Amino acid sequence: MDILKIENLSKSFNDKNVIDNLSLIVRENEIYGFIGSNGSGKTTTMNMILGQLEPNGGDIYVCGEKVNFGNTETNKYIGYLPDVPEFYNYMTAPQYLRLCAKLTDLKKNERESRIDYLLSIVGLSGERSKIKAYSRGMKQRLGVAQALIHQPELLICDEPTSALDPKGRMELLKILKDITAETTVIFSTHVLTDVERISDYAGILYEGNIVKEIDLSKTDFGDKGIDLKLDSNEYKSLSERIELSHLQGDNYRAVDISLRDLYQLLYTLDIQPSQLELSKKSLEDIYLEVTR
Ligand SMILES: Nc1ncnc2c1ncn2[C@@H]1O[C@H](COP(=O)(O)OP(=O)(O)OP(=O)(O)O)[C@@H](O)[C@H]1O
């Protein structure tokens, strides 16, 4: 089932197209990394999904229901974690979550068990201190618990790891991965390693559109080239036959030639490189290719 479906979405500010005919689909229990540089329109897109910002064109569906600007009806399906969540800092986490639970349709007798469950999955069960004493990582984890209080089908996170140190980042990513058993997640970021770590799909937002969508279950993103270590004589004779780009030191990369043809050529030229390996593309390589 499509939990989030965006069709031909557009948004401009002062005649500048920020989102330009964007379409994407996020399926049930997937985790989707929404990648874009600063100012590329990630928050603008999320605000339109939440019905808080009016698109200039296009449609958004959450759990099959159309999102209408100014109408929060579809937000019953959504949990939202902003990049810097705000809390009542004088409260403890259970007190804060109790307050949030009261604002939802959650039955009274289910509230405490839901709060206990959420505190355990975000690693804050034994925490007795007030929120004002929390680290940024703890606040972000509490933000996830708060966003999930009403058992939403879709969790939207806006740059959830941007303010966190490596440990806090790892903890939060693990939580996002773990909760996909009960909810679908879309999170925006410009940190590609975060996306590679936990996402099923990644969409690269560039100039208002998803310019590339990547299935991260496939580990092979294609070849960059063949890397060889060559001495100066070997380099001279090989570079007369094929294009070689210099990496560093004695290392070169052959592109636009198959491994088979390269082996054949090396044999013909009687070159035996001390190192030879196929270099694979990373998500970063793909990002740089499509946003050039
Ligand atoms: N209310 C607004 N009025 C005018 N311009 C806006 C408004 N909101 C956003 N913009 C512009 O739209 C563009 C996209 O902004 P947005 O905040 O969606 O980007 P982002 O990808 O979330 O960036 P970041 O990673 O820095 O948070 C920016 O150029 C921003 O200045």
Residue 239 has φ and ψ, to the nearest 5°, of -70, -15
Distance (angstroms) between ligand 1 centre and the Cα of 45 equals: 10
199 lines ligand 1 (CB under 6 A): no
Q: What is the DSSP letter of 183?
A: S
Cα 34 from Cα 176, distance rounded (Å): 14
- Compute the distance from residue 84 Cα to the ligand 1 centre, in Å: 16
Instruction: Compute the distance between CA of residue 150 and CA of residue 78 in angstroms, rounded to an integer.
Output: 9
Give mean pLDDT in consecutive 10-residue pieces for the chain, a chain of 292 residues: 96 94 96 94 96 96 95 92 91 95 89 95 92 93 95 95 89 94 94 92 95 88 90 94 94 92 95 92 90 87
Is the Cβ atom of 11 under 6 angstroms away from ligand 1? no
Quote the pLDDT of residue 219.
72
DSSP conformation class of 27: E
192 Cβ contact partners less than 8 Å away, ≥ 6 residues apart: 35, 282, 283, 284, 287
pLDDT at 46: 96
ipTM: 0.96
Q: How far apart are CA 153 and CA 79, in angstroms?
A: 8
Indicate whether residue 39 lines ligand 1 (CB < 6 A): yes
pLDDT of residue 222: 83
Residue 100 falls in which region: left (phi positive, over 0), alpha (psi -120 to 50) or beta: alpha
Cα-to-centroid distance, 42 and ligand 1 (Å)? 8
Q: Record the pTM.
A: 0.87
Q: Where are the alpha helices (H) located in 59-215, listed in sequence order?
A: 93-102, 108-121, 136-147, 166-178, 192-198
**H helix or E strand, kind and range, residue 142:** helix 136-147
CA of 44 from ligand 1 middle (Å) equals 6
Reduced to 3 states (helix: H, G, I; strand: E, B; else coil), residue 3 is strand
| Index of the ligand 1 atom closest to the CA of residue 36 | 21
pLDDT at 102: 92
Candidate of 9, 35, 43, 83 to mutate for ligand 1, largest count of ligand atoms within 8 Å of Cβ = 43
> Measured from the CB, is residue 43 less than 6 Å from ligand 1?
yes
Determine which residue's CA is closest to atom 9 belonging to ligand 1: 44
Which DSSP category does 16 fall into? E
Q: Is 178 helix (H, G, I), strand (E, B) or coil?
A: helix
Query: How far, in Å, CA of 77 to CA of 133, rounded?
Result: 31
What 3-state class would DSSP assign to 241? coil
Centroid of ligand 1 to alpha carbon of 245 (angstroms): 38
CA distance 1 to 83: 28
| CA 18–ligand 1 middle distance (angstroms) | 8
The answer to whether the beta carbons of residues 37 and 190 sit under 8 Å apart is yes
Residues 6+ apart with CB under 8 A from 95: none
User: What is the spatial distance between Cα 101 and Cα 107, in angstroms, rounded to a whole number?
Assistant: 9
**What was the pLDDT predicted at 35?**
95
